[in-house]
């Protein structure tokens, strides 16, 4: 495993982070009976050297993580979890933050969260998050119940990072979780220079999702983009958009291309990988530790997808 420093937090984190949500939720999404298997995925990740584990109140996997990490010295791990945004209309949203944190601590079996995020903040939520929820988050930090404050963007609704662009001007976060992949590399233009200037820790989500784990899905997306005129017919073979990526980078699989693309992006500290499949986890860790894609492949990807900011990779 390789380790890096998560921006101004100073936390030493593995460059691979285990995502316990996303389309798989450690395999629980498709098979809610597979708790033992899900615990096994978390332990496998730790055995592979992963020390950054990301979960959330809403994933239903905090308890799984709690069971998997029981008995492991707490300072060997960096635990990241998230608070679902409370309803702005209710009497005390601040109190909801406190209650959510207490519940997360209990599920995770710990007395302190390393990175506590507001979860899926969309542009419409931002003023509420800053003015009503941040004071409660700061209080939790002062009380020693959380170490650092993070935010995750609502990438599906905010593919061009409007919330992060606004909030990074206001210096709120220690850590941000950003949607970034080769089909929507727009954070390179709009987010990563600000995070580097301010030494904000960056967690990369949506590295793979469906489009970059299923070649047929990618073909359908590219055909649609060509049809809409979003990418030009001449720049790639629409019948086989995967072809050049694999051939010219000597990668074994499409997810390998996608993970190598993210891992070597300047400004990204941790690439999150979410899976319920032990073979995928092993392969993904290997992919993230491989060298950068060759420069000609990166240039071609930039020519094709570099200006897009509308896709999520779903």
Ligand X SMILES: NC(=O)c1ccc[n+]([C@@H]2O[C@H](COP(=O)([O-])OP(=O)(O)OC[C@H]3O[C@@H](n4cnc5c(N)ncnc54)[C@H](OP(=O)(O)O)[C@@H]3O)[C@@H](O)[C@H]2O)c1
Binding site for ligand X (CB under 6 A): 19-24, 27, 54, 82, 119-120, 152, 177, 205-209, 213, 255, 272-277, 280, 283-284
Looking at the Cβ atoms of 136 and 183, the one nearer to ligand X is 183
Q: Return the sign of the alpha-carbon dihedral for residues 40, 44, 46, 50.
A: negative
Residue nearest to ligand X (CB): 19
Q: Of 301, 19, 16, give the one whose Cα is nearest residue 183.
A: 301
Residue (9 or 273) nearer to ligand X, CB = 273
Please, what is the minimum distance in Å from the beta carbon of residue 24 to ligand X? 3
Instruction: Please identify, using beta-carbon distances, which residue of 226 and 277 lies nearer to ligand X.
Output: 277
Nearest distance, CB of residue 209 and ligand X, angstroms: 5
Distance set, CA 237 to CA 253, 280, 307 (Å): 18, 28, 18
d(CA 288, CA 208): 12
CB of 23 to ligand X, least distance (A): 4
Closer by beta carbon to ligand X, 47 or else 142? 47
Whole-Å CA distances, 61 to 38, 107, 108: 9, 9, 9
Rg (C-alpha) for the chain, rounded Å, is 19
Please give the sequence-ordered ranges of beta strands (E in DSSP) within the chain, or none if there are none.
3-5, 12-14, 16-19, 52-54, 78-84, 113-121, 146-153, 175-179, 201-205, 270-273
* Distances from the Cα of 37 to the Cα of 29, 31, 164, 236, angstroms: 12, 10, 35, 40
Q: Is 59 a catalytic residue?
A: yes
Q: How far is the CB of 227 from ligand X (least distance, A)?
A: 25
Q: Which position among 3, 59, 126, 259 bears the catalytic label?
A: 59
Cite the active site residues.
59
């Amino acid at each position: 495993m390789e380790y890096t420093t998560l921006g101004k937090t100073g936390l030493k984190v593995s460059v691979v982070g285990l995502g316990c949500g996303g389309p798989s939720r450690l395999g629980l999404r498709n098979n809610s009976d597979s708790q033992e298997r899900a615990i096994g995925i978390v332990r496998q990740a730790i055995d592979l050297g992963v020390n950054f584990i990301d979960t959330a109140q809403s994933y239903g996997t905090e308890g799984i993580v709690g069971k998997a990490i029981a008995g492991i010295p707490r300072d060997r791990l960096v635990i990241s979890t998230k608070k679902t945004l409370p309803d702005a209309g209710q009497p005390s949203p601040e109190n909801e933050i406190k209650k959510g944190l207490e519940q997360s601590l209990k599920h995770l079996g710990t007395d302190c969260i390393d990175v506590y995020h507001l979860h899926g903040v969309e542009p419409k939520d931002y003023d509420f998050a800053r003015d009503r929820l941040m004071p409660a988050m700061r209080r939790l930090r002062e009380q020693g119940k959380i170490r650092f404050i993070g935010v995750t963007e609502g990438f599906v609704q905010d593919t061009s990072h409007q919330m992060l662009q606004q909030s990074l001007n206001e210096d709120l976060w220690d850590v941000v979780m950003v949607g970034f992949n080769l089909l929507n590399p727009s954070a390179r233009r709009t987010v990563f220079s600000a995070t580097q200037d301010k030494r904000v820790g960056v967690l990369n989500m949506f590295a793979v999702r469906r489009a970059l784990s299923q070649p047929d899905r990618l073909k359908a997306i590219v055909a649609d983009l060509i049809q809409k005129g979003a990418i030009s017919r001449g720049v790639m073979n629409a019948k086989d958009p995967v072809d050049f990526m694999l051939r010219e980078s000597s990668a074994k699989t499409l997810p390998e291309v996608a993970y190598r693309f993210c891992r070597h992006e300047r400004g990204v500290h941790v690439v999150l990988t979410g899976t319920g499949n032990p073979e995928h986890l092993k392969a993904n860790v290997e992919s993230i530790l491989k060298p950068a894609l060759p420069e000609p492949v990166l240039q071609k990807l930039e020519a094709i997808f570099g200006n897009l900011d509308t896709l999520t990779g779903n």
